[in-house]
Structure 1
Amino acid sequence: MEEEKVSSARILIVEDEEGIQELLRVALQRHGFDVCCEGSVEAAESVLKSWAPQMIILDWMLPGENGVAWCRLLRRREETQKLPIILLTARGEEGDRVHGLESGADDYLAKPFSPRELVARVNALLRRSYGNHSAGVVKLGELQVDLRAHRVHVQDVQLHLGPTEFRLLRLFVTNPDRVFSRDMLLDQIWGQQSFIEERTVDVHIRRLRRVLEEYGHAHIIETVRGEGYRCTAVTG
């Protein structure tokens, strides 16, 4: 029986060995995950800002800045403090495992590994990190967002959102407390090749809030002055 997972979770792989990178990509895509692969911390930083991954699989040894140092840096940043991270390395001694976990990694996978073990660890960490997301449903108080059925309910009442408003809400509720700039939202919702103006984001945010406001939940989408928007998990 296939394990439940976060619906289409976005996973960023940071691994400079092409063979290992391909193994990771194929194994995860086969199980329905959305995967992006980069070979260095510098390249991964750009993806982190534009793609909003829900997990990072990070190699210990990388060209330039190594994975452990970057992991420590991510844990010091407010927007990535809680981002799930699996550290991937050929080091298998207990002292190395402890060192990796103390750097802020949530889990540790030593090479060589089986694709089955990889997927099991990914699913387990996603369930621990996102709770009800693993069942495809996110709950914020009385608000329930069904990620698979594309439906939103408050108690037994279904909210009617347009496709764009639903995609915005899905992005926000699966990344609680993360601030998204308008540029990031344009990339995530409309795509990087889109020529939509930034003010279009504000129009759709207003539409989303208008529907949520009818049921007392407009406050979950906050404006962060000078930065963009975020979803707060506080619901009352």
Structure 2
Amino acid sequence: MSTISNSEAIAAWSAMPTDAIEAYDDQGDFPKRHLMNGNLLRMLGPVDGRKVLDAGSGEGYLSRLLAEGGAEVVGVEPAAALLARAQKIEQERRQGIRFVQADLSTLPEVGQPFDAVVCSMVLLAIPAWQSAMAACVSALKPGGRFVFSITHPAFENLYPTWRDHGHYQVDRYLDEYEMPEGYAPDFHRPLSAYINEVVGLGCRVIELCEPGLDPQVARDSGIDAIESYVALPNFLIVSAERDR
């Protein structure tokens, strides 16, 4: 059970330092570039000419990748600092992306229904995550694709734990609790919570992806302890389809 509200979580993300926001490039960051993006786009399927909602779009890097693929993109982001960065880049590049400031758990009219909804590394940061997931599914056309990613519930804080101790041990997996690290807390929930919720919302799970880092990429990176991403999956990506 969360002890903070959605508005408090949003305020924390809105206070994210400018240099941290601007550190993201056109592929996001190292894990997103090498573990997430290709799998997210593959699991979404062809997006050319399709309406796609980027639910929790942050500073907009994934929205821009989708637009490059020919999608008609709406990005929803509640944190003002992240939204401002996304809007600034859109003004410069004119990719036709519409960015909207809104709390995903109380999603307003933003152009529904969509052919696909992607919600990457967002649900784990939302106290009212069930309402947010329901909003994502409700925004889909019948037969539409919903793809979401989270930190793998069995391997949270994988990189720093491996770096400091040389191994990883699962603990308190079945509990639900806050993880007060970074700019705002994330929330641990077991995998079954997410899967049972999306199925209960009338979706059929198509694929689970536990991406591992290519060993050669790890060697070439020169990053200390990055072999943790080779040995264990730090992320989990789920693809589901709304019932027709």
Task: Tell me if both proteins adopt one fold, taking TM over 0.5 as the criterion.
Answer: no
Q: Max radius of gyration: which structure?
A: 1
TM-score normalised according to structure 2 size: 0.34
Bigger fraction of residues in helix:
1
TM-score normalised according to structure 1 size: 0.35
